[in-house]
């Protein structure tokens, strides 16, 4: 008999790696790659959309800034003009009010005064025509006014409470009062110097 001598090392059959494991691994890697590709394409489309939106908003912001600058320039001019106007007509009124009150004759009533840019309009009630003439003369002599003019004269009857109609004799004995509107032009040079002490 012939002996069986095998000088070659004995080879054991290796167990084959499970094909299922590699298949699952390939599928997982494929899904991960697909997810990243989806994220990439979504991000690039979002970037493009946001860039367009940014350009639109930038354009709109520039237009609004330009409009704001134009309005500020126009308002600045209007504000400066307003300040200059107010400064040009600003003057002390207390001496004028005091002067118009001090010059009133007896039994006259100063109803109102309205200040203009260079005039003062005075509404006064008088008892008689000579009182009107006296007051106008005093205003003309006053250093605070350059010129004085009577704008209107209207007569009215003084009524206290309810009165019955007067007879012609009663009307003849009662003297009506006069409401006079006077416009006086202010002398700014004297007003700026103030009242002499």
DSSP of 66-130, one letter per residue? HHHHHHHHHHHHHHHHHHHHHHHH----HHHHHHHHHTPPTT-EEEEEEE-SSEEEEEEEESSHH
Note the pLDDT tens digit of each residue in 61-98: 999 999 988 887 776 666 667 667 666 667 788 888 89
Check residue 26 and give its pLDDT.
Answer: 92
Check residue 197 and give its pLDDT.
Answer: 44
What parts of the chain have a pLDDT lower than 70?
A: 1, 7-17, 75-80, 82-83, 85-89, 157-175, 194-197
Report the predicted TM-score, pTM, of the whole model to 2 decimal places. 0.50
């Amino acid at each position: 008999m012939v002996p069986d001598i095998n000088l070659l090392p004995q080879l054991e059959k290796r167990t084959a790696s499970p094909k299922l494991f590699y298949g699952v691994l390939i599928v997982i890697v494929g899904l991960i790659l697909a997810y990243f590709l989806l994220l990439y394409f979504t991000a690039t489309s979002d970037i493009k959309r946001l860039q367009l939106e940014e350009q639109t908003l930038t354009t709109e912001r520039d237009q609004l800034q330009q409009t704001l600058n134009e309005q500020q320039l126009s308002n600045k001019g209007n504000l400066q003009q307003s300040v200059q106007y107010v400064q040009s007509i600003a003057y002390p009124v207390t001496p004028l009010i005091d002067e118009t009150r001090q010059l009133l004759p007896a039994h006259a009533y100063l109803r109102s005064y309205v200040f203009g840019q260079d005039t003062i309009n005075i509404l006064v009630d008088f008892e008689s025509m000579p009182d009107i003439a006296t007051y106008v003369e005093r205003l003309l002599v006053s250093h605070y006014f350059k010129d004085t003019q009577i704008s209107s004269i209207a007569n009215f009857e003084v009524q206290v409470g309810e009165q019955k109609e007067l007879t012609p004799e009663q009307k003849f004995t009662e003297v009506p009062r006069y409401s006079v509107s006077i416009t006086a032009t202010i002398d700014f040079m004297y007003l700026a110097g103030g009242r002499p002490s």
